[in-house]
Amino acid sequence: YASFANDGHFTIDPSKNLDRRWVPGRWKGDRFEYDPAAETGMLLKFQWVDGSGYWDNALAIFERMFERSLDRKLQEWLDEF
């Protein structure tokens, strides 16, 4: 799931040669709740959904934080000796 949210995805598997598919469920406010037994649902048309890039952003933040922390620890170690 994370790769779909981060990198983006098609609403339908392109290898299935379909232009739409039915997803059973119901809407609760602005959120869709999947329910395989529901008589209601939504029709998805074949399209690309852009990814959020959240993993890439988090990794970049972590790398910056780790680099600063490592530099600080290295300097502390050098100052001791």
Tell me the per-residue pLDDT of 19-47, one tens digit each, with 9 for 90 and over: 999 999 999 999 999 999 999 999 999 99
Closest CA to 48 of 1, 4, 15, 16: 4
Q: Which amino acid is at 45?
A: K
C-alpha distances (whole Å) from 19 to each of 48, 69, 70 are 12, 50, 51
Q: Which residue ranges make up each domain of the chain?
A: 1-50, 51-81
C-alpha distances (whole Å) from 45 to each of 11, 34, 52, 71 are 7, 17, 20, 50
Tokens of 38: 């529901």
Q: What is the pTM of this model?
A: 0.51
Tell me the per-residue pLDDT of 48-71, one tens digit each, with 9 for 90 and over: 999 988 888 888 898 888 887 888
Q: What radius of gyration, in Å, describes the C-alpha atoms of the chain? A: 22
